[in-house]
Amino acid sequence: MGNPHLPLCQSACFAKRAACHASELVRVDSQAGRYRGAALPDAFITDFEVEETNVEAIARDGRTRWKVENENNNVLKTKGYHIEHNFGHGQQHLSSLLLSLNLLAFLMHTILELVDEKYQAIRQALGRRRTFFQHLEALLCYIFFDSWDDVFQFMYYGLELDTG
């Protein structure tokens, strides 16, 4: 299953190297006996011992982690959070602050998607996340709301989502 002490860095600055293990996942089309489409093999590095009994679970968990990270990064870059912008303004910590605020907004929207029925209905009615942000930006330019609940209430009724 590979070298049990594969060093992550060959640099002399690491007096004690961290041991890691590697596994490779090759997805094969069972009918054609080849890679599916343009899919390439996936490789995973872990600090877990890779053995025949756990290699499938390690590869599955590695794919799942990659998928979550990739999808979240895609949302942050392309769905209105502007995370691709380098925020290279300010003298010291402004870029870190702006990134932190973006991530906090993403966290709050994710929580709202899970627990807030009005938010869920508004997002479903507006479709794309970018459209939601455009509506939100337009409203907040012209109207003062006392709370986010008031914003969502206004949008909910404005989109005629209240059937009661």
Q: At a CB cut-off of 8 Å and minimum separation 6, what does 148 contact? A: none
Asked if pLDDT for residue 107 goes beyond 50, the answer is yes
Enumerate the β-bridge partners of residue 24. Answer: 43
Q: Give me the mean pLDDT over the 102-119 stretch.
A: 90
Regarding pTM above 0.75, the answer is no
Enumerate the β-bridge partners of residue 4. Answer: none
Measured N-to-C along each axis, helices 94-115 and 117-126 cross at an angle, to the nearest 10 degrees, of: 100
Which 8-state DSSP code applies to residue 39?
-
Query: In whole angstroms, what is the distance from residue 116 CA to residue 129 CA?
Result: 16
Secondary structure percentages of the chain, helix, strand, coil, to 5? 50, 10, 40
Tokens of 117: 């029925």
Query: pLDDT grade, residue 31 (50/70/90)?
Result: low
